[in-house]
Amino acid sequence: MSIEATSPDYTATTVARQQSCHSVLPRSEPLNVAYVMSRFPKLTETFILFEMLALERQGAHIEVFPLLRARNTTTYAEGASVWKKLVELFRRPELKAVMHPEAEAFVVRAHFAPLFNAAIALSQLYYLLWRPRAYFGALWTLMRANWGSTNFLLGGLVVFPKSVHFARQMERMEIRHIHAHFASHPAATAYVIHRLTGIPYSFTAHGADIQVDQHMLREKVALAKYVIAISQDNLRLIEQVCGDESTEHVKIVRCGVDTSLFRGTDQARQKTEKTALRIVCTGTLYEVKGQKYLIDACQLLCERNVPVHCQFVGDGPMLEQLRRQVEAADLDKQVQFLGQQTRQEIAKLLQFADVLVAPSVPTAEGRREGIPVVLMEAMASGLPVVASNISGIPELVEHEQTGLLVPPRDSSALADALARLWHDNEERIALGKAGRKKVLDQFDLDKNSRRLLTLFFDEIAS
């Protein structure tokens, strides 16, 4: 599936937003920022892409350094073992990668690199000759601090030569700040580059990247100029692992969404007793998203004579399992799997929905979501939401004020919440309006990216 261009409606709102954005940087002080992430361009990580776009609108220049180029294979990286991740590197893509059109300009200039080649070998030689203590010090810390974590140790060693090469490139490009998304391998790469070059770095901790495995987190936090937590829940975990000394440079900066693209519809979301409740659930189809509990809830609703029409957006390793569950429950007419969708397609889908559900669950290995961006998108669209009462979600979805919260893995409670919204037009509309106000106040993309850029610039100016 390929993406051609954005809709005229989106283009108009984006231009207006760009014109209303004022740079937080003096024009004489261009800020070259390197962004490090695991994979790029990745359809499900819109929060990184649109954060970079917002920063550029406000005066920064972003250089993209992905650890891997995202490819469309049958191997899914989320929660995969080290072996599966390595298999993904050498497996040929089965389909053309789906990409947001806004990512194309970054892809053209992104600094993709193989695991090893002659240029990377020369970068190793350069630092071995001129900064051997920094080179071996960073490598030793990477090994020592990650000992006992197969994922972080092997993954860190695999990307270490590439991280060294990135350091050489960033020095030549006069990068003034490095920001990594996720506290795992991207933050480790930023750490290595800082040890070699002295370029200051920060990183954003999202959820599972600090919840499942805390190896090397202390070291990454200690040298970072700033650590960005997307929620109070994440901040508490970082302080618990790293101690009170981490408090000063851990800042909460929420992920944000484009509230000009995701906006409420003019038509009232009225329903009758004969109209099906239109449910949307967006996210990669794997365990932590909890989609199977929503299917169970849909079955319960049908048994209660509450008509539903549920659409799942996304792809993932549990697709076939979920299809079989739908077939076994005889819900083929009520449940659809739409596959991957672009941001603009999701925005249109939300305009015609009645509720978005995020039935997230903690996994046995400790993986949890942070605050799903799909909840922000739906609430910005004036859509009521039902979500699990875990992690940082209650910081966005306040029960019975900006949405409804249910216990994770409780299909009955989920069905009760959805039936409640089907029966009560006034509450559903009121929750949608309150949700949009919450997002406008605290989760707006430009407001939050402006705060992030201010942190970068203040750190450089100090």
Q: Do 259 and 236 meet the contact criterion of CB atoms below 8 Å apart?
A: no
Please give the Cα distance from 311 to 442 (Å, whole number): 28
For the entire predicted model, the pTM comes to 0.85
Specify whether 252 is located in the same domain as 355.
no
Specify whether 217 is located in the same domain as 143.
yes
Range of the domain at 116: 28-256+444-461
Domain membership of residue 395 (yes or no) is yes
Domain membership of residue 261 (yes or no) is no
pLDDT in tens, 392-448: 999 999 999 999 999 999 999 999 999 999 999 999 999 999 999 999 999 999 999
Domain membership of residue 380 (yes or no) is yes
Specify whether 66 is located in the same domain as 152.
yes
Specify whether 227 is located in the same domain as 307.
no
pLDDT in tens, 177-197: 999 999 999 999 999 999 999
Which residues, in sequence order, are CB contacts of 84 under 8 Å at separation 6+? 75, 77
Q: What is the domain count for the chain?
A: 2
Specify whether 395 is located in the same domain as 314.
yes
Q: Do 411 and 242 meet the contact criterion of CB atoms below 8 Å apart?
A: no
Specify whether 373 is located in the same domain as 391.
yes
Domain membership of residue 263 (yes or no) is no
Specify whether 199 is located in the same domain as 287.
no
Specify whether 300 is located in the same domain as 395.
yes
Q: How many CA atoms lie within 13 A of 174 on its CB side?
A: 4
**pLDDT surpasses 50 at 380:** yes
pLDDT in tens, 224-248: 999 999 999 999 999 999 987 777 8
Specify whether 228 is located in the same domain as 324.
no
Angle at 110 between CA 105 and CA 112, to 5 degrees: 145
Domain membership of residue 291 (yes or no) is yes
Partnered with residue 399 across adjacent β-strands are: 403
Q: What is the CATH number of the domain that holds 35?
A: 3.40.50.2000
Specify whether 423 is located in the same domain as 406.
yes
pLDDT score, position 85: 57
Specify whether 233 is located in the same domain as 175.
yes
Specify whether 356 is located in the same domain as 456.
no
Domain membership of residue 10 (yes or no) is no
Q: What is the DSSP string of 382-427?
A: T--EEEES-TTGGGTS-BTTTBEEE-TT-HHHHHHHHHHHHH-HHH
Please give the Cα distance from 168 to 194 (Å, whole number): 11
Domain membership of residue 251 (yes or no) is yes
